[in-house]
Chain A
């Protein structure tokens, strides 16, 4: 069965420092991996995805993520955090062999808090 784990409920980082939000996954085929961000009382906004190709994926707002097949991880990174990056971050996975449904499995979310 597909699953996604975000091991940290909260990540604290000082503004200007690099940030990492961790995600590991389990799927039966090749994974389609996504990162979303959610601000309070809003929907999810798409940040980036990995489908195939280069293991380092660049996305919106200066975020990037590194796909590591051997470690089944897809960690979200940013070289220099901003206070405005403070939000809830979700990792999601779809099994590449999952058929026609395109159901996504979401992690439980990681709250990123950037201190000024």
Chain B
């Protein structure tokens, strides 16, 4: 089945540590997105990528970094500069870059907590 796989499902970070969240899709989608979800705040866009080797900052990019070396993969690193990383992180993808009416497809998320 085609879909988006996020791993791990749960992740714990120590103070001063960088952690990387994995997002892999086999939908052959060009565009990929990372969102952060906090209770009562909806989804906020961290980074997005419309094509391989290109990505842009979203609304809350500080303390995060990404790479897009392959079409299928869009890993997110939560750096030690992100002082409040505890949240539910969602990865999404969208196909047909020229058809902006297409919905985004989401993975099942990674829940990150501070130790």
A residues sitting closer than 8 Å to B (CB atoms) are 9, 32, 34, 36, 41-46, 49, 51, 90, 94, 96, 98, 100-104, 106-109
Contacts and interface: CB of A to CB of B under 8 A. Distances in A.
B40 interface: yes
B58 A103 contact: yes
Q: Is the interface of B mostly helix, strand, loop or mixed?
A: strand
Contacts, number: 58
Contact of A101 (B4, B48, B106): B48
Contacts of B92: 43-44
A107 B42 contact: yes
Nearest to A108: B42
A89 to B, nearest CB: 11
Interface of B: 4, 6, 31, 35, 40-43, 45, 48, 50, 56, 58, 90, 92, 94, 97, 100-101, 103-109, 111
Contact of B41 (A36, A51, A102, A108): A108
* Residue picked from B40, B58, B101, most chain A C-beta under 10 Å: B101
A43 B109 contact: yes
Contacts of B101: 32, 49, 51
Contacts of A45: 106
A104 B94 CA distance: 11
Contacts of A107: 42
Contacts of A34: 103
A9 B45 CA distance: 21
A43 B92 CA distance: 9
Given A32-B100, A108-B42, 18 more contacts: A9-B40, A36-B106, A43-B4, A43-B6, A43-B108, A46-B105, A49-B101, A51-B101, A90-B42, A100-B50, A100-B97, A102-B31, A102-B100, A103-B45, A103-B48, A104-B104, A106-B42, A108-B41
